[in-house]
Amino acid sequence: DSGVTQTPKHLITATGQRVTLRCSPRSGDLSVYWYQQSLDQGLQFLIQYYNGEERAKGNILERFSAQQFPDLHSELNLSSLELGDSALYFCASSVGAGAANYGYTFGSGTRLTVV
Amino acid sequence: AQRVTQPEKLLSVFKGAPVELKCNYSYSGSPELFWYVQYSRQRLQLLLRHISRESIKGFTADLNKGETSFHLKKPFAQEEDSAMYYCALSGALHFGGYNKLIFGAGTRLAVHP
């Protein structure tokens, strides 16, 4: 167990729907990062939050949004889902605002299937 | 621009053969480099940090600033090494002062019996 908890592990939903993915960072970590991993692509950075504030944005679609709550857990909201949104969504956390010397700790991911 | 390049999508070797997974980076400052491993699309696990100069599961990686490389090596591959390997770069410059990990595209290592 890495200490980063992601729920649910699997999600199957229809096109056009909206889903929420949840991430609890490792205890003591203030930063949360979201990544998308499709079959034909590597890791795509979506967004980072640090202590409740958005810190960095990557290739995140407008249909997607995220937030980090006062207890530091984070949610990634995906709406108007398309078949191409089917992917593994990983959450990672780090102690500070960045990777520093320790890198990130990853969760086990949520496998989203859009049918 | 900050970039991590892993030139090989797939590296296929036989058990017992030496392995070298290539990683080149582009960064103007002093980088911190990492290798992550992902087994069967499970979570990414930190394998090595260049700053700690450690050896994990027989893998080593040396930072070569002259060649801007951080290749991952293992003298004798095992079947259980089959996985996806990602090289990542962290640097404070140009990221608003905050270190962000930039990942390479990954190399799939397949070790055959």
Whole-number Cα distances in Å, A45 to A16, B38, B55, B98: 23, 16, 28, 15
The terminus-to-terminus CA distance of chain A in angstroms comes to 30
Q: In this complex, do A99 and B99 lie within 8 Å of one another by their Cβ atoms?
A: yes
| Helix, strand or coil, per DSSP, at residue B22 | coil
Length of chain A: 115
Q: Please enumerate residues of B whose Cβ is less than 8 A from a Cβ of A.
A: 32, 34, 36, 41-46, 49, 51, 86, 88, 90, 92, 95-96, 98-101, 103-106
Distance between CA A15 and CA A18 in Å, rounded? 9
The lowest-confidence range among A2-6, B33-37, B93-97 is B93-97
Query: Distance (Å) from the C-alpha of residue B53 to the closest C-alpha of chain A?
Result: 12
Chain Cα centroid distance, residue A38: 13
- Report which DSSP code applies to A4: -
Closest to A101 in 3D by CA, of B68, B87, B95, B51: B51
Query: Distance (Å) from the C-alpha of residue A102 to the closest C-alpha of chain B?
Result: 7
Out of B100, B101, B106, the one facing A42 most closely (by C-beta) is: B106
The count of CB pairs under 8 A between chains A and B is 72
Distance between CA B83 and CA B68 in Å, rounded? 24
pLDDT band for position B56 (50/70/90)?
Answer: confident
Out of B44, B51, B105, the one facing A106 most closely (by C-beta) is: B44
A57 touches A93 (CB < 8 A): no
pLDDT one digit per residue (tens) for chain A, 115 residues:
779 999 999 999 999 999 999 999 999 999 999 999 987 778 888 999 999 999 888 889 999 999 999 999 999 999 999 999 999 999 999 887 666 667 889 999 999 999 9
Q: Which residues of A touch B106 (CB under 8 A)?
A: 42-43
